[in-house]
Chain A
Amino acid sequence: MDFILAFIGSFAGAILFNIERKNLVWAGLCGGISWVVFKVLFIQTDRVVFSTFLAAFACGIYSEAMARKRKTPAFVFSIPGIYPLVPGITAYTTVRAIVEGRLVFAANKGIETIGTAGAIAFGIMLASTAFQFVYKVNEKYRKKPKVIS
């Protein structure tokens, strides 16, 4: 059920970013995957930033793989894919706490918001660098036998 909802959200978000029609479904799927990973990890470990990081990493891996397969840049999938992870709730809670004058709670939530945003970006980046690394290593090993023979 959660998967379908996250799929709907990312799919509609992808329309707002004006992505090509044939890639829309795959972009929505990326959002669904990242939300499910986040949810499972969050239930297991109860750590928001950590599970967001791994979910963003999974989203990045998926979008890099799809980018190779469908011959488009990876951000077409990754940007709608991180939509469910964006710290909307924590940001809102921060504002609400500031308005109600609970400043310590607001500081807590604010730091959590910044941490989550950073975790998303680094998760995505880590995935894409890992992919490039594997790609380059592969190239190297592919070339070596050619040189020898």
Chain B
Amino acid sequence: MNIKEVMDIASFAGEILLSSGAEIYRVEDTITRICNSYGVHCECFVMPTGFSLTVRNKNGDVLSNVKRIKNRSVDLHRVEMINTFSRRLLNERSSYKEAMEELNRIKNMPYFSYNLQIISSGFVAFGFAKLFGGSFLDSLVAFVISMFIFYIKDNIQKYGFFQFLEFFLSGLMAGVLSIIVAKLIPYVNIDKVIIGAIMTLVPGVAITNGIKDALYGDFISSFARLIEASFIAIAIGLGVGVSLILQLSWV
């Protein structure tokens, strides 16, 4: 197998990993492992927004490639699949065609169905609103609002505005909707409803991955992730804050 094909496989696997929200050290490990299993020397530099990869074979032919990652989401199953794929390559080398087919299959693997995702985002809100001391009514309201927010956020995502607008608008919707509901039904506690509803937006993965990256020595990526997480938090906070200001001054 020539180095171009090896590089194709490695960079495709790296692309799937990065866009599914894997840690930096895992991406570097996987790319290096794939290249080594085909007997090719490689050097890669990975950042959350993209990576560059240079491979060199024994004859001294050098090939390099830069890949930019635009949209990132969290999909742990895909990370897991790529992980097992690269470990299996160590034992049995598959041909270029087989490997690419396998990677394509992983890339197009089905999500949970859309309705199930919406309902489960509702259940996240329900569980946490009740857990953090809300009444049953609060949790039900949070359930409905959270489903609505998930739907809206997904639709904004399709139009491809920048990421923080999504979070700002979702936070704003959470605030406005719960204030309206609280106005209609006076028994509802706004604080608990909002906390439950924004639980699905909180950037927990970005924060933990950021600190993990720092502990493994990837400081640039760590800062990038932490800044991403704090900007998401600020965007949600701004959205909720604006709605609360509206409530304080006009309602």
**Are B117 and A120 closer than 8 Å at their CB atoms?**
no
Residues from 76 to 91 in A contacting B, C-beta threshold 8 Å: 76, 78-79, 82-84, 86, 88-89, 91
Chief secondary structure at chain A's binding surface: helix
Alpha-carbon separation in the docked complex, A102 to B70 (Å): 39
B207-A18 in contact (CB<8A):
no
CA distance A54 to B76 in the complex (A): 25
Question: Cβ of A121: which chain B residues have Cβ within 8 Å of it?
Answer: 207-208, 210-212
Taking the complex as formed, is B162 at the interface, i.e. its CB lies under 8 A from any CB of chain A? Answer: no
> Given A83-B204, A92-B195: A16 and B124 within 8 A (CB)?
yes
A15 lies within 8 A of B112 (CB): yes
Contact mask A90-104 → B, CB, 8 Å, 1/0?
Answer: 011011101110000
Query: Considering only CB atoms, which chain A residue lies closest to B111 in the complex?
Result: A18
Residues of B within 8 A of A9 (CB): 123-124, 126-128, 131, 199
Contact with A along B126-137 (1 / 0, CB 8 A): 111011100000
Complex CA distance for A69 and B195, rounded to whole angstroms: 35
Whether A86 touches B80, Cβ cut-off 8 Å, given contacts A5-B127, A35-B131, A94-B237, is no
CA distance A22 to B212 in the complex (A): 26
Contacts of B211 in A (CB 8 A): 118, 121-122, 125
* Chain A residue nearest to B203 in the complex (CB): A86
User: CB-CB < 8 A to A37: which residues of B?
Assistant: none
A-B contact count (CB 8 A): 127
Asked if B132 and A89 make an inter-chain contact with CB atoms under 8 angstroms apart, the answer reads yes
Interface residues of B in 40-79 (CB under 8 A from A): 74-79
CA–CA, A82 to B206, complex, Å?
13
B180 within 8 A of A: no
Contact at B74–A17, with CB atoms within 8 Å? Answer: yes
Instruction: For residue A88, give the distance in angstroms from its CB to the closest CB of chain B.
Output: 5
Residues from 114 to 147 in A contacting B, C-beta threshold 8 Å: 117-118, 120-122, 124-125
Return A110 CB to nearest CB of chain B, in Å.
10
Q: CB of A66 within 8 A of chain B? A: no
As a 0/1 sequence over residues 58 to 81 of chain A, the CB contacts with chain B under 8 angstroms (1 = contact) are 000000000000001101101100
Contacts of B117 in A (CB 8 A): 15-16
Which residue of the partner chain A has the closest CB to B23? A75
Contacts of A117 in B (CB 8 A): 207
Task: Tell me the minimal C-beta distance from B148 to chain A in angstroms.
Answer: 15
Q: Which 10 A-B pairs have the closest CB atoms?
A: A9-B127, A121-B211, A12-B123, A12-B120, A15-B120, A8-B127, A95-B237, A5-B131, A12-B124, A99-B244
Extra inter-chain contacts (12) besides given A12-B120, A16-B200, A92-B198, CB under 8 Å: A8-B127, A10-B127, A11-B120, A13-B120, A35-B131, A86-B202, A88-B128, A88-B132, A89-B132, A96-B191, A99-B241, A99-B245
List A residues at the B interface (Cβ < 8 Å): 2, 5-13, 15-20, 35, 72-73, 75-76, 78-79, 82-84, 86, 88-89, 91-92, 94-96, 98-100, 117-118, 120-122, 124-125
Q: List 13 A-B contacts (CB under 8 A).
A: A9-B128, A9-B131, A12-B122, A12-B127, A72-B80, A76-B76, A79-B204, A88-B199, A95-B244, A96-B191, A99-B241, A99-B244, A124-B212
